[in-house]
Amino acid sequence: MPDEQLSQLLKEVKKYHPHADLDPIRQGYAFAQEAHKGQMRKSGAPYIDHVVATALLLAQWHMPPQLVLAGLLHDVPEDTKYNIADIEKRFGKDLANIVEGETKLSTLRYHGRERYAENLRKMFFAIAQDVRVVLVKFADRVDNLKTLNVFPIKKQQRIALETIEIYAAIANRLGMGLVRGELEDLAFKSIHPQEYKWVLNFLKDKVQEREKYLEQVKKTLQKDLIKNEVHVQSIHGRIKRLYSLYLKLLTRDRDINKIYDLVALRIIVPTVQECYASLGALHQRWTPLKGRVKDYIAQPKPNGYQSLHTTIFCDDGEIVEFQIRTPEMHEEAEFGIAAHWFYDEQGKMSKRADEHVKWLKELASIQKNIQSRENFLEALDSLKIDIFQNRIFVFTPKGDVIDLPEKATPVDYAYAIHTEIGSRCAQAMVNGTIASLSTPLRSGDVVEIITDKNRKGPSPDWLEFVKTSHARNKIKDDMHKTKLSGWIRELVQRKHKSVAR
Ligand code: MN
């Protein structure tokens, strides 16, 4: 059985990355097996099944081998006796970083809806440096959604809602149509089980009925395209995803006959030129519906989506939607950013500055989307993207996010948490290691402050390295107070002396 799991995984990786070195994945599989040995999931299945399923999803989404490996190891530091250092020793720094980001993301705690959203938002900014962490999280979430029923109803609903509002929204923004669809449909099933069944039944009946008809359309079309010297790679029916069908039904009086794109025909042709030629051939034979022709090739959607869309009165007045695209456009529409890694066996994300900025801009608009879908992020209205430049995000041991200016130190962090913690801070632990109070922090660091109850107050030396005006002001205040109390003590002592005299 385990060998079968591994060979299925390797087969899937090889499909899209034929020249990849598969040894690290073999080693990762063996290590994950050893690490999770004897562990069971809440559902009673062996834990290893979950991490293999996560890795398999990543492979199916065309992700590079390095990410598949991260999928295998993503729960090791959190749930086993091995830690990040063990992973780094065996699989290198780059992989350890992805897994570490993953662990941080899952230690975020839920403190009411707003707090959680806020945490998550900051989190996504923090990991903007490495989008791969989110991709592993998507796969993890898809697999977890499949066994969501082991949790109490309330928790199921919370996870499902968060999946649609945040995860799917981000997947969409990254142009990952397939991932978005999987996240949404699984979550939809948990949130509205009745509605889910209703849509599913609709779909079953209608799709069968439609498929026969579309087979005819396809034949006619194929002949026309050959005549127009278009080299068709494939024409296939695309069935609308359940959740997106459900949303559309709600806006169409729940009448399935008002949904034209229940099954669309997708035409894949080698070149852009042939895309337009196909559109021409279609419009020559049948009449397009007014206002339904969309040229997303000349004007791609904000997430990069490209295709030609048209809706047509075919034979017998039946209405059919067509989507025309090249194989590259198709790859990008389904797999989004993974498409850019398609030929990069290392799976390393380019660190080019302009891409970084682009990603931050994308994140900003994701936030806008979430806001308009559900107003729970209203509080963030005033935040502008430029605030996030030159900011870092560090974590409390509980997983709360504290945002600070670049090069902020543990003292800035301590004062950001509480004045008392600031003025009594004695030592700092950064990522589990003792660090000096003046160490510049970096995004993603986990910081813990060790306080000393007997400490009288801040040290004037701190003023030389703190970066926030908040910490600076508090230190000055405190020093002033300490001085005052010193004077008072002195005065009292003098008085005593004079009395004694
Ligand atoms: Mn997991």
- Rounded Cα distance, 73 and 92, in Å: 12
Q: What is the pLDDT along the chain (501 residues), one digit of tens a residue?
A: 568 999 999 999 999 888 889 999 999 999 999 999 999 998 889 999 999 999 999 999 988 899 999 999 999 998 899 999 999 999 999 999 889 888 877 665 544 445 555 556 655 654 555 778 888 999 999 999 999 988 888 888 878 877 887 788 778 767 788 999 999 999 999 888 888 999 998 888 888 888 888 999 999 999 999 999 999 999 998 888 999 888 888 888 888 877 878 888 999 999 999 999 999 999 999 999 888 899 999 988 766 789 999 999 988 888 899 999 999 889 888 887 777 654 444 444 433 334 434 554 555 555 545 444 333 333 233 222 323 345 677 888 876 667 787 889 999 999 988 988 999 999 999 988 999 999 999 877 789 999 998 887 898 899 999 988 888 888 888 877 766 666 666 666 665 655 544
What phi, psi does 359 have (nearest 5°)?
-65, -40
Distance 379 CA to ligand 1 centre (A): 31
- Ligand 1 center to 36 CA (angstroms): 12
Q: Which pairs from 32-35 meet CB under 8 Å and 24+ separation?
A: 32/72, 32/73, 32/76, 33/2, 35/76, 35/80, 35/81, 35/82
Contacts 24+ apart (CB under 8 A), 292-300: 292/321, 297/272, 297/325, 297/329
* Pairing outcome for strands 319-325 and 308-313: antiparallel
Give 413 Cα–ligand 1 centroid separation in angstroms: 30
User: Which among 79, 295, 345, 374 is annotated as catalytic?
Assistant: 79
CA of 88 to the centre of ligand 1 (A): 19
The DSSP secondary structure of 254-282, one letter per residue, reads T-GGG-TTSEEEEEE-SSHHHHHHHHHHH
Centre of ligand 1 from the C-alpha of residue 74, in Å: 6
Distance CA 159, CA 20 (A): 35
The CA distance from 500 to 496, in Å, is 6
How many angstroms is it from 197 CA to the middle of ligand 1?
28
CB of 414 closer than 8 Å to CB of 421: yes
User: What is the predicted pLDDT for the residue at 382?
Assistant: 28
What is the reported pLDDT for 394?
80
Marked catalytic residue, from 4, 34, 49, 78:
78
Under 8 Å between Cβ of 374 and 165: yes
Cα(459) to ligand 1 centroid in Å equals: 44
Q: How far is the CA of 51 from the centre of ligand 1 (A)?
A: 6
Are the C-beta atoms of 80 and 72 separated by less than 8 Å?
Answer: no
Cα 94 to Cα 84, 97, 130, 190, 194: the distances in Å are 11, 5, 10, 36, 44
- Rounded to the nearest angstrom, the distance between the alpha carbon of 140 and the centre of ligand 1 is 5
Q: Please state whether beta strands 401-405 and 391-395 pair in parallel, antiparallel, or not at all (unpaired).
A: antiparallel
CA of 57 to the centre of ligand 1 (A): 12
Cα(181) to ligand 1 centroid in Å equals 20
Model pLDDT, residue 347: 41
Active site residue 79: yes
C-alpha neighbours within 13 Å on the C-beta side of residue 14: 9
Predicted local distance difference test score (pLDDT) of residue 290: 87
Q: What pLDDT is stored for residue 183 in this prediction?
A: 95
Q: What's the gap in Å between 75 CA and the centre of ligand 1?
A: 5
Residue 412 known to be catalytic? no
Neighbours of ion ligand 1 (CB under 5 A): 75, 140
pLDDT of amino acid 498: 54
What is the predicted pLDDT for the residue at 162? Answer: 75
How far is 272 from 325, CA to CA, in rounded Å? 7
Q: How far is CA 492 from CA 125, 261, 480, 488, in A?
A: 54, 86, 18, 6
